[in-house]
Chain A
Amino acid sequence: MIERREKLMSYLVLGPFAIVLAFPFYWMLWTSFKSDIDLYNVNDVPFKFGKGSPTLRNYAFLFHHTQYLTWVKNTVVVGAIVVLITLVLALPAGYALARLAGRWGQNLGVGIFLTYLVPPTLLFLPMSWVIAHIGLQDRLLSLIIVFPSFTVPFSTWLLMGFFKTIPAELEDAALVDGASRLRTLLYVIFPISVPGILTVVIFSFSLVLNDFVYALAFITTSNAKTISTGVSTVLIRGDVFFWQGLMAATLLPTIPLALLYNMFLNRFIAGFTGGAFR
């Protein structure tokens, strides 16, 4: 009885929220298939196809007349490498702060996190100077070097908290058994921390995806652009917005990414809580 009522409550909550949150995407889907005549019509019904719709022209334009696929590739490549760099820097740091550094470790961890509070809008001009002077202007490597500046503080603090939830007894047990610290790291800690790593991967990747200011300031060469800057260059021309193409460009990376996040969600949640006892 109570079970059924609770299930009903769940639906009553989840239903409306899912509708409200996903509604823009539903509407984006419709818009991306509309023709200009249909769209720029005050009597246009957003959820029906009018004159000239549905059309694949907007998607075709995106794929054939812009470098959209290149930009997607760039974004993915930059994201992947930045995630790797973040893990290389933040994993050992997080572990050390949680285990090896004691009291001042906690404060240092917080201090590292606080650097995340400095907004990119404050830093991008001096950073442009640095990037230009090491010769990386207009190259993806500039983003690869700069993005960890916000993913690393965030991830270090996250991993520090995560490692704290793994009971020290596990490591001590391994140490007593004769394993070196590194061995402990590799064979005991690492497997358990996979959820934490997944957390860092997903957060860092989404932070990379959301950047706009750095990509704009550092890169103007079309085939080195990321999705956000590339799309806004080609589909926003002066006072003409190609809305349908913009919608299509937004939908295409979002849906696979959301599917991916959803698939890994269970393991990802464990990343927050340690999961040592699950």
Chain B
Amino acid sequence: MTLAMQPRERAVPESGQTTAGSVRAAAPQLPEVRMPRHLLSAADLDRPTAEHVLSTAQRIEQAMAGREVRKLPTLRGRTVVNLFYEDSTRTRISFELAAKRLSADVINFSAKGSSVSKGESLKDTAWTLQAMGADAVVCRHSSSGAPQQLSAWVDGHVINAGDGTHEHPTQALLDAYTLRRHLGSLDGRRIVVVGDVLHSRVARSNVLLLSTLGAEVTLVAPPTLLPVGVTSWPAAVSYDLDSALVGADAVMMLRVQRERMSGAFFPTEREYSRSYGLDSRRRELIAEHGIVLHPGPMNRGMEITPQVADGAGSVIVEQVANGVTVRMAVLYLLLSGEMDNTATATDSAGGLA
């Protein structure tokens, strides 16, 4: 980065002018939009910023529509590392595709088949990535807070792609994007989130983001699958799915996470399915324009019946496509203009000298 700076400084001999130039160059950015340096939590995005990400995604979708070359040169020469400590199909492929569509170089790093299986710590891995000059690190980890730790160790931008039972902000963004496409503004829209809230990072991020965007979120789950302190969340809580579904604008089914079901959270799968599964009868309860979302992967027959998953008003496949678009927007907004802070600092220093 320092090397890239040098010709620029040489081209403009008067340092005072350079400072003025940086100030002026900053002008076109919308004043109220504050994109965080790392995307670790959906709470990092205030309403104008979240809406900026979503409208950027919409523009990118427009720009990609009907093109001969499905690629933009925007992040040419940047490196994005996908650091996945947990299994993932759609999130990893989605991030990989998003980075590649923006012409970034992508390195996929999964815990299996890397030095992690030999016992390398997260910190040592972070230093390795740092030394290799990763501009962005997309991190999925089974421990809540791992991406936050990572953000302290690397210079690049860290994007949380799911950490333990904590957060999954890009999933919330793609859900919000999908909802906006079908419902328009989310102000006052009633969205019901059903299932294993306790273990779901998707639910946490969605509650935060959707309430930021003005939607009314209702969480529905058996009491054993609701976290302690859920009453402090910006969402209503209910144990009765039928009454919560009546007139809802959208229903989001959460996956029952079998791998985290070590305790006895519900008696039998069949009983869970009867009380909290979305079948054709319950599908009829939501508003006529209502849509059905699922972050995937689905347990068909458990939390959702195949008839509903593949039926009218189901946007589950579209969610996957929107994931690529939204992640392109996040990568663009995080990675472009990266030189600006450094440049301003150097320029002001030059101005003082």
The answer to whether A and B assemble together is: no
Query: B residues bordering A, Cβ < 8 Å?
Result: none
Query: A residues bordering B, Cβ < 8 Å?
Result: none
